[in-house]
Amino acid sequence: MFIRAAELDVKIKVFHNASIMNAIGSCGLQLYNYGQTVSIPLFQGNWKPASFYDKIETNLKLGFHTLCLLDIKVKEPNLEILETRGKVVYDKPRYMTVKEACEQLLYIEEEVKKAGVLSRDTMCVAVSRLGQDDQQIVAATLGELLQVDMGAPLHSVSSSFPIYARMLIFDQMVIPGTMHELEETMLKFYSLK
């Protein structure tokens, strides 16, 4: 429907369900072709977890797309202050950006796993503020996404939004597996090039 409407120059606006698991379909990749979803945690100092990477590898070997949920840190206690002063002070909220996710994925591939799963040439779909008027969807390689500005930080979201609305606005990323020609056509709408 999206492709036909676009060909007829019909304006399109999608109203999403309450879950990113459904709303991510707006990027044009068919929902039944997704494998296991992964969460990419923010690296902190020497803590650089890579266990989720195995699921990306499995999904790609099976031809499935991988929805990557990007980490958020909200109301996280500052451990240094807690340890030294015994006082609970919370760090500022921090939201992983698509650029950080790309950097971390490439680091894991190049420095930890060396599995040949991802490279700077791997096609990805970056999604920011999905379901909002200023949503952004960009289809590009991991290397190209390192240079893409996905817009304003997510902490600008009003806390008066109900939780189901806030679920849709965090940055996400999809690593496509084997694509159907309709999926390839859809990604052309969002292609960086």
Query: pLDDT digit string (tens) for 63-94?
Result: 999 999 888 888 888 888 888 888 898 988 88
CA 107 centroid distance within chain: 17
Taking the CA atoms of 88, 93, 98 and 100 in sequence, report the sign of the dihedral they define. negative
Q: pLDDT band at 161, cuts 50/70/90?
A: very low
Q: What pLDDT is recorded for position 156?
A: 23
pLDDT tens for each residue of 20-65: 777 788 888 999 999 999 999 999 889 999 999 999 999 999 999 9
Whole-number pLDDT of residue 152:
66
Q: What integer pLDDT is reported at residue 166 of this predicted model?
A: 36
Encoded tokens for 32: 């039944």
Report the share of the chain in percent with pLDDT over 70: 87
Dihedral angle over CA of 165, 169, 175, 178, nearest 10 = 50
SS3 153: coil
pLDDT greater than 50 at residue 10: yes
The count of C-alpha atoms lying within 13 angstroms of the C-alpha of 27, restricted to the half-sphere facing its C-beta, is 33
Give the lowest-confidence range in 6-20, 24-38, 106-120, 151-165: 151-165
9-13, 79-83, 121-125: range with highest mean pLDDT = 121-125
Q: Check if CATH label 3.30.950.10 holds for domain 15-189.
A: yes
Rg of the Cα atoms in the chain: 18
Distances (CA, A) of 190 to 29, 92, 184: 12, 32, 10
Q: How far apart are CA 155 and CA 14, in angstroms?
A: 23
Which residue ranges make up each domain of the chain?
A: 15-189
Per-residue pLDDT band for 110 (boundaries 50, 70, 90) equals very high
If one compares 3 and 146, the residue with the highest pLDDT of the two is: 146
Q: pTM score, two decimals?
A: 0.78
H or E element at residue 70: strand 66-70
Any residues with CB less than 8 A from the CB of 96 and at least 6 apart, and which?
40, 42, 70, 71, 72, 171
